[in-house]
Amino acid sequence: MSDVRIRKEGRAGRITLSRPKALNALTYEMCLGIERALDAWAQDSEVALVILDAEGEKAFCAGGDIAQVYRAGIKGDYDYGRRFWRDEYRMNAKLAEYSKPVISFLHGFVMGGGVGLGGHCSHRIVGESARIAMPECSIGFVPDVGGSFRLAQAPGRLGEYLGLTSARMEPGDALYAGFADFFVPEAEWPTLKAALAETGKADAVAKAAQPAPDSPLAERQAQIDMLFGGGSLADIRRTLDEDGPDFAEGARTALARNAPLSMALTLEMVRRLRGPSHSIRDALELEYRVSHRIVEHGDFLEGVRAAIIDKDRQPRWRNATDDVPDAEVSMMLAPLGRDALNLREEAK
């Protein structure tokens, strides 16, 4: 498969995304190929751990390749997107629950599908170039691929802030927010990968790790908690309007730009998933309720059109910023019955 290089190297299974010109955007075929490799290596005694990385300097993975979902959706074919997300989410769950160590090397843009791929592994390494985000509300979608779980487990109201504004995290922010585990300068990655492949021992990661860089978000935690603690999207907007310039101004701009329905859904999802009793499986199942419906009933097609297809950056959202009916949120998050996500299916 040309878009992802899958091979064994020493004691390691190696998965390398190889679409650098497309910022390693994850296609449906790449998802299936990665899952097949994980299934095979789980029973392979020669593979002690898995190394997950990507080619190019700009991105580990800037998200899912959603153009095909858009093209199918505008023709009335909603099943393609449903199948894509169903199979992708199953692969995300396998990475999170894998029986062997999985070490991800996160550099450059790590967004959306990139977080689902590299953000749930047992050993998540960030380098100095990493910029991590869940930007789905900007295209009429919601944080998915287990991203809603990561947002819900972040300190204080940081999950609401990151999910609603699509803000990017620097390396120190990602470590603070729970989206990464270790900081290793990127110049040292080749040596670390070689050691992992040679020994098959994941403890080499902790030995190579250096102190976490400063986190601007950690310094703003109290302000974020105050600004994003409101019970509804309208409450949060009112608090932002009452606050002074600088940080609040940037958040106000983001909320004015992003899809209101997506933000209302994100707020509800993060709060449903908060607390120690929830798991990534809970998040994926809840996310799939939305992704199953959103191409047909949400703002996804319009958001992708404005951001990726026509690139006019002028989306026409179906709701006003402060006018998202509770019934619409409830409908999108209602159980799917026989269409519910099944994480026990096997790779095709």
Q: Is the pLDDT of residue 40 over 90?
A: yes
Q: Hunting for tokens 């998040």 — which residue is that? A: 283
Q: Where are the domains of the chain?
A: 4-339
What is the separation of C-alpha 203 from the centre of its chain, rounded to a whole number of angstroms? 26
Share of the chain above pLDDT 70, in %: 99
Q: Using the predicted structure, report yes or no on whether residue 294 has a pLDDT greater than 60.
A: yes
| Band of residue 345 on the pLDDT scale cut at 50, 70, 90 | low
Amino acid 304: pLDDT: 97
Catalytic residue, chosen from 35, 136, 287, 328, is 136
Render pLDDT for 142-166 as a digit per residue (tens, 0 to 9): 999 999 999 999 999 999 999 999 9
- pLDDT band at 237, cuts 50/70/90? very high
Task: Kindly name the residue from 10, 63, 108, 113 that is annotated as catalytic.
Answer: 113
Q: Does the structure show a pLDDT above 80 at 131?
A: yes
Look up residue 144 and give its two tokens. 């998915």
pLDDT of the residue at 246: 84
Give the pTM: 0.96
Phi, psi angles (nearest 5°) of residue 182: -135, 150
113 is catalytic: yes
Q: In what order do the strands lie in the sheet with 123-126?
A: 4-9, 12-17, 49-54, 102-106, 123-126, 182-183
- CATH classification of 4-339 is 3.90.226.10, yes or no? yes
Which one from 64, 108, 114, 163 is the annotated catalytic residue? 64
Q: How far apart are CA 338 and CA 335, in angstroms?
A: 9
178 is catalytic: no
Catalytic residue, chosen from 35, 53, 88, 144, is 144
**pLDDT average, residue stretch 68-81:** 96
Q: What is the mean pLDDT of the chain?
A: 95
Whether 206 contacts 183, CB under 8 Å: no
Q: What is the mean pLDDT of residues 231-238?
A: 93
CB distance 196 to 188 below 8 Å: no
Per-residue pLDDT averaged across 19-40, rounded? 96
pLDDT of 317 over the 70 cut: yes
Residue 348 pLDDT level (bands cut at 50, 70, 90): low
> Quick check: 263 pLDDT over 80?
yes
Please report the pLDDT score of residue 323 as a whole number.
80
DSSP string over 40-90: HHHT-TT--EEEEEESSSSEEE--B--HHHHHHHHTT--HHHHHHHHHHHH
Q: Judge whether residue 199 has pLDDT over 60.
A: yes
Dihedral sign (CA 299, 303, 306, 308): negative
**Does residue 259 surpass a pLDDT of 70?**
yes
**What proportion of the chain, given as a percentage, has pLDDT over 90?**
94
Residue holding tokens 């909320």? 255
Task: List, for residues 281-292, the tens digit of each pLDDT value.
Answer: 999 999 999 999
Spell out where 167-289 has E strands: 182-183
178, 126 Cβ separation under 8 angstroms? no
Residue 203 pLDDT greater than 60, yes or no:
yes
Q: CB of 180 within 8 A of CB of 106?
A: yes
